[in-house]
């Protein structure tokens, strides 16, 4: 499996796709608030099974949005901000070009 780079169109789309699920966003929020957590811990409050959460973590892990460290019989998952920053950079760039377009429009009207 050749993992696509974080800034290519495919890699970027994969990052956004991984972010495109309410449960995964909730997982990210919890990891952001509480630090590294295990699958069982993340599954406690959820309304789906542990395996569902585990699948979501696998998705996030394949998108390089989280990393996992095994510690005894537990596996702790943690945020991995690199891809988040790549996604952020894309959105910032689009917003910047949008502002440029607005500026040009403004100049044309004057």
Partner DNA sequence: GCTATACGCAACCTAATTGTTGCACGTTTG
Partner DNA sequence: CAAACGTGCAACAATTAGGTTGCGTATAGC
Under the rule (CB under 7 A), what is the footprint of DNA? 17, 20-21, 23, 38-41, 48-52, 54-59, 68, 71-76
Q: Where are the beta strands (DSSP E) in the chain?
A: 37-38, 66-71, 74-79
Give the residue carrying structure tokens 């894309």.
Answer: 90
Instruction: Find the binder of a second copy among 6, 17, 51, 53 (CB under 8 A).
Output: 17
Which DSSP state fits 26?
H
> In angstroms, what is the minimal distance from the CB of 76 to a second copy?
14
Give the residue carrying structure tokens 């991995």.
Answer: 80
> In angstroms, what is the minimal distance from the CB of 105 to DNA?
21
Bridge partners, 29 (sequence order): none
Half-sphere exposure of 84 (CA within 13 A, CB side): 13
* Residue 26 interaction partner, one of a second copy, DNA, none, beta carbon < 5-8 Å per kind: a second copy
Can residue 97 be called a binding residue for a second copy (CB under 8 A)? yes
Contact region for a second copy (CB under 8 A) — 8-16, 45-53, 54-62, 69-77? 8-16
Q: Is 19 or 41 the residue whose CB approaches a second copy more closely?
A: 19
**Per the structure block, which two tokens stand in for 8?**
């290519």
Q: Is 55 or 97 the residue whose CB approaches DNA more closely?
A: 55
Cα–Cα–Cα angle for 74, 80, 81, rounded to 5 degrees: 155
């Amino acid at each position: 499996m050749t993992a696509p780079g974080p800034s290519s169109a495919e890699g970027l789309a994969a990052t956004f796709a991984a972010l495109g699920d309410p449960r995964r966003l909730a997982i990210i929020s919890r990891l952001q608030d509480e630090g590294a957590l295990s699958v069982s811990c993340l599954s406690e409050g959820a309304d789906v099974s542990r395996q569902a959460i585990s699948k979501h973590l696998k998705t996030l892990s394949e998108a390089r949005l989280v990393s996992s460290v095994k510690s005894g019989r537990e596996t702790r998952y943690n945020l991995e901000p690199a891809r988040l920053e790549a996604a952020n950079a894309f959105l910032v760039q689009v917003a910047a070009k949008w502002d440029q377009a607005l500026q040009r429009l403004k100049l044309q009207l004057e």
